[in-house]
Amino acid sequence: MSNISDLGIAGIRDGLTGGDFTAREVAETFIGRVSAAKPLNAFLVETPDHALAAADVADKAIAAGETLGKMVGVPIGMKDLFCTEGVETTAASGILEGFTPQYESTVSANLFKAGAGMLGKLNMDQFAMGSSNETSAFGNVISPWRRNDGGNTDLAPGGSSGGSAAVVSGRIAPAATGTDTGGSIRQPAAFVGITGFKPTYGRCSRWGTIAFASSLDQAGPMAQDVRDCAIMLEAMAGFDPKDSTSLELPVPDWEAALNSNLAGKKIGIPKEYRVDNMPAEIDALWEQGIAWLKDAGATIVDVSLPHTKYALPAYYIIAPAEASSNLARYDGVRYGSRDLPDGAGLQDMYAATREAGFGAEVKRRIMIGTYVLSAGYYDAYYTQAQKVRTLISQDFEKAWNSCDLLLTPTAPSAAFGLGEKADDPLAMYLNDVFTVPSSLAGLPAMSVPTGLDGQGLPLGLQIIGKALDEQNVFNAGLALEERAGFVAKPEQWW
Amino acid sequence: MSVDKQTVQKIASLSRIAITDAEADALVPELNNILGWVEQLGEVDCKDVEPMTAVIPNKLRLREDAVTDGDMRDKILKNAPAAEHGFFGVPKVIE
């Protein structure tokens, strides 16, 4: 039997039901991994008691022969964007320091109902704004990966779900929740060699998830492989009357229908994703991916998504606009921190509280959002961006006339060193060039680890599917996974 | 369109974020860099294009107009930095 810490969701499930080990042993194994992983700074709060309590419930249920939940006995990491009852939740911001939700987010509640336990709350980019986990108010997450040059440069785990990416790739948690607004599940998954899935907008409830850009925010799983993502998404997703954009649809049994035979499927290759300055290794991996999907029975077709280059600028109007509105709630009155200078009135208190509580990138985005929504600029910026968004969405609709899925790289580079891009917001934004268009269109998309670059760092390929067609995204992901045979994991140095 | 220092100070004030003079100076080129980049959207022909309102067609649901929760004052106030006598506390608003 392999080490418990190497197992993912399906491996733990099979071991538990086969009597190879108990849920308590699983929880204790990963709790030990968590406490040994402090140098990575991946956890903001550790909750070993939660994981142990869920394990004991799981062991009793198994002993009693009860019907088991999909996540029974699996201790997971929880991105700190999800409100967890009684457990401090800050979205890695200073302004929410000390905030202890009195309620449970729907996604975390669904996972716990399915039998999962929680190892702790995971560090991330502050309010999910960032692509390197460097905007957290509580320090960078260090990627478990290192370059093979013998140096020990600290690398970015990607972002915003950087803590989630670090713990799954470091085998510190078998799986973790992520959220994706413009690529925050897929880009970090690619950076650390794990699988990350963003479902169709509306599959997972946003209730109790701290809002960044509400028309884009979607929760999804980050796990070792495609099967684990399918299992976990089944547990996370589902209609929730408390979210007005939640889809009133049954959750399919994605795991049971996994099938890597792609005969009859057409895979589109969007020519606009061949961007300038893309490393040759990523281009080569993309070609390899095309060959793998052909081998799985698919037909490859060239498609055009002509408005692709406008997706990032549209995103950087729409997302900050929504953020400036969503983050207006942090006022020093209802929750979180308050900064009340001597003799200050209400307005001064707001300004001082927000000055002290928000990080630089969050302030930058709030100000951009405020500007593009302000009188005289609204139509030129915001309305125009929403029109371009319509065109981007129509590009995908037209592509679906000739194909079922799209194959692209996930990110334009492998992981970079911490600090290498921190001074240039625009360079950082370009990380999401391949993930943002599908976010703007609300489409399901996943990143699958498929190779290593010359520095020994993981690279990922992205599959994008039609709205509500998660199944075919999973299936194509599985076809890539089987052929790539990606088994690399970081050497433990921490 | 580009912003000057005065506009940056105005945006900060609308955003209710206190900034120093030096921060305003630093933000001018930073914001202009980003705004200059998003301006390329202006070159897209959007004649007769409707702005996106919902990515996935979804009808807005109505529910019965009835009380479904409430009676949780203490929970709501639990995280307030200055709750008093069952209310949120704020600094004096009227002189």
**A242-266 confidence digits (pLDDT tens):** 999 999 999 999 999 999 999 999 9
Burial A148-185 (b: 16+ CB within 10 A, else e): eeeeeeebbbbbbbbbbbbbbbbbbbbbbbbbbbbbbb
pLDDT of residue A137: 98
Residue of A nearest to B23 (CA): A360
In what helix (H) or strand (E) does residue A353 lie, and over which residues does it extend? Answer: helix A346-357
| Residue B95 banded pLDDT, cuts 50, 70, 90 | low
Q: For A450, phi and psi rounded to 5 degrees?
A: -135, -5
What pLDDT, in 10s, does the model give residues A56-108? 999 999 999 999 999 999 999 999 999 999 999 999 999 999 999 999 999 99
- Flag whether pLDDT at A478 surpasses 90: yes
Mean pLDDT of chain A: 97
Average pLDDT over residues A366-374: 97
Contact assignment for A371 to B11 by CB distance below 8 Å: yes
Contact assignment for A386 to B52 by CB distance below 8 Å: yes
Residues in Cβ contact with A303 at an 8 Å cutoff, skipping those fewer than 6 apart:
A268, A269, A270, A271, A399, A402, A403, A406
Total structural domains within chain B: 1
Token pair belonging to A157: 């785990």
Only one residue has tokens 């997703």, namely A237
Dihedral angle sign, alpha carbons of residues A156, A224, A201, A441:
positive
- Flag whether pLDDT at A479 surpasses 90: yes
By residue range, what is the domain housing residue B15?
5-42
Hey, which residues does A120 pair with through a beta bridge?
A46, A77
Interface membership of A438 toward B (CB under 8 Å): no
pLDDT of residue B57: 83
Residues A461, A408 contacting (CB under 8 angstroms): yes
Average pLDDT over residues A335-346: 92
Neighbour tally for A295: CB within 10 Å:
12
Residues in Cβ contact with A65 at an 8 Å cutoff, skipping those fewer than 6 apart:
none
| Residue A419 banded pLDDT, cuts 50, 70, 90 | very high
- Quote ipTM for the complex: 0.95
Query: Which residues does chain A have within 8 Å of residue B78's beta carbon, measured at their own beta carbons?
Result: 100, 102
Residues in Cβ contact with B45 at an 8 Å cutoff, skipping those fewer than 6 apart:
none
| Residue A485 banded pLDDT, cuts 50, 70, 90 | very high
Cis amide linkage into residue A337, ω under 30° from 0: no
Instruction: Say how many CA atoms lie within 13 Å of A226 toward its Cβ.
Output: 34
Does B50 map to a domain?
Answer: no
Dihedral angle sign, alpha carbons of residues A101, A107, A110, A115:
negative
Q: Which of residues 52-81 of A touch B (CB under 8 A)?
A: none
Does B21 map to a domain?
Answer: yes
Does B56 map to a domain?
Answer: no
| Residue A176 banded pLDDT, cuts 50, 70, 90 | very high
| Residue A424 banded pLDDT, cuts 50, 70, 90 | confident
Token pair belonging to A349: 């208190």
Give how far A268 is from chain B: nearest CA, Å.
Answer: 21
Query: Which has more pLDDT, B94 or B43?
Result: B43
Q: In this structure, what DSSP letter does residue A140 have?
A: P
| Residue A428 banded pLDDT, cuts 50, 70, 90 | confident
Give the whole-angstrom CA distance, residue A411 versus residue A246. 28
Query: Which residues does chain A have within 8 Å of residue B69's beta carbon, measured at their own beta carbons?
Result: none
Neighbour tally for A386: CB within 10 Å:
21
Residues A104, A97 contacting (CB under 8 angstroms): no
Average pLDDT over residues A196-200: 98
Positions of A annotated as catalytic residues are: 79, 160, 184
**Residue ranges per domain, chain A?**
4-264+445-484
Average pLDDT over residues A290-318: 97
Hey, which residues does A302 pair with through a beta bridge?
A269
Dihedral angle sign, alpha carbons of residues A469, A82, A369, A334:
positive
Does B71 map to a domain?
Answer: no
- Flag whether pLDDT at B94 surpasses 80: no
pLDDT of residue B60: 84
Give the whole-angstrom CA distance, residue A254 versus residue A228. 10
Residues A108, A84 contacting (CB under 8 angstroms): yes
The fraction of chain A above a pLDDT of 70, given in percent, is 100
The length of chain B, given as a count of residues: 95
Q: In this structure, what DSSP letter does residue A283 have?
A: H
Q: Pick from A127, A354, A387, A424 the residue to mutate for testing the B interface (most B CBs within 10 Å).
A: A387
| Residue A292 banded pLDDT, cuts 50, 70, 90 | very high
- Flag whether pLDDT at A336 surpasses 60: yes
- Flag whether pLDDT at B1 surpasses 80: no
Under CATH, which number does the domain A4-264+445-484 receive?
Answer: 3.90.1300.10
pLDDT of residue A1: 52
Contact assignment for B15 to A367 by CB distance below 8 Å: yes
In what helix (H) or strand (E) does residue A405 lie, and over which residues does it extend? Answer: strand A405-409
Average pLDDT over residues A379-388: 96
Give the whole-angstrom CA distance, residue B11 versus residue B13. 5
pLDDT of residue A277: 82
What is each CA distance from A269 to A220, A287, A312, A462, in whole angstroms? 25, 10, 19, 11
The length of chain A, given as a count of residues: 494
